[in-house]
Amino acid sequence: PLEAMQERATATAGDFPPQAVTNLVWGLAKMGVQADAALLAAMQKRAAETAGDFPLREIATLLWALEKMGVKNPDADLVEAMQRRATATADEFMPQEIVNLISALAAVGVTNLDAGFLEAIQQRVRATARDFKAHTVVSLMSALAKMDTPPEAALVKAMLRRAWATAKDFKPQDVEALMSTLATMGIEPDPGLLSHMEKMRQDQEDERARVSSG
């Protein structure tokens, strides 16, 4: 039955709306089913054709589903269409959605990003920097470190400023991940950032100890 379903989906791929494309690939991935090559090719083709109607969140979801299927370097038309869609709607993205998209692209091996897409996304990061949480700062920088083009200085500055502002929320592994990522990117952080994060963490521990003992 599953084989027949995949054959039917492949044959009727041209009738699939964007949400159905994502639901099918994501559903198979969650079930641990390895979709056949013809189905994956048909779904990528259909996604490229309907990219202009894709909801923002579904772009990253589809890419993550393809990654779970073992797809590396997805169809070039799909990648181009999805970057074009994201560029056109970049000012609607919120921090977590930006992180999800860049991380998904990195996961499927897409590291040579379109210049217009990269510019639009970085502009949106700067515009929403104050809404980034500690873990999204780390995740974004980690994903950008995998890209062929390094992030612009203004973005790095905004994220490091945000890391300082959210230092109390950084877990030890977050601090380690951020510092390792910055080193990989050849970025020298503010010398006081690490000590500031440690002080914030220690203050929190002291406060928890005070509350529990009281």
Residue-by-residue pLDDT tens, the chain, 214 positions: 789 999 999 999 999 999 999 999 999 999 998 889 999 999 999 999 999 999 988 999 999 999 999 999 999 999 999 999 999 999 999 999 999 999 999 999 999 999 999 999 999 999 999 999 999 999 999 999 999 999 999 999 999 999 999 998 998 899 899 999 999 999 988 888 888 888 877 777 777 788 887 6
> Distance (Å, rounded) from C-alpha 9 to C-alpha 21?
10
Asked whether the whole model's pTM tops 0.85, one would answer yes
Coil, strand, or helix at residue 4? helix
Residue 214, pLDDT score? 66
Q: What is the 3-state secondary structure (H, E, C) of 88-108?
A: HCHHHCCHHHHHHHHHHHHHC
What is the full DSSP assignment across 137-166?
HHHHHHHHTTSSSPPPHHHHHHHHHHHHHT
- Residue whose tokens read 């202009």: 52
Q: Which of 106, 107, 178 is nearest to 136 (CA)?
A: 178
Half-sphere exposure of 26 (CA within 13 A, CB side): 14
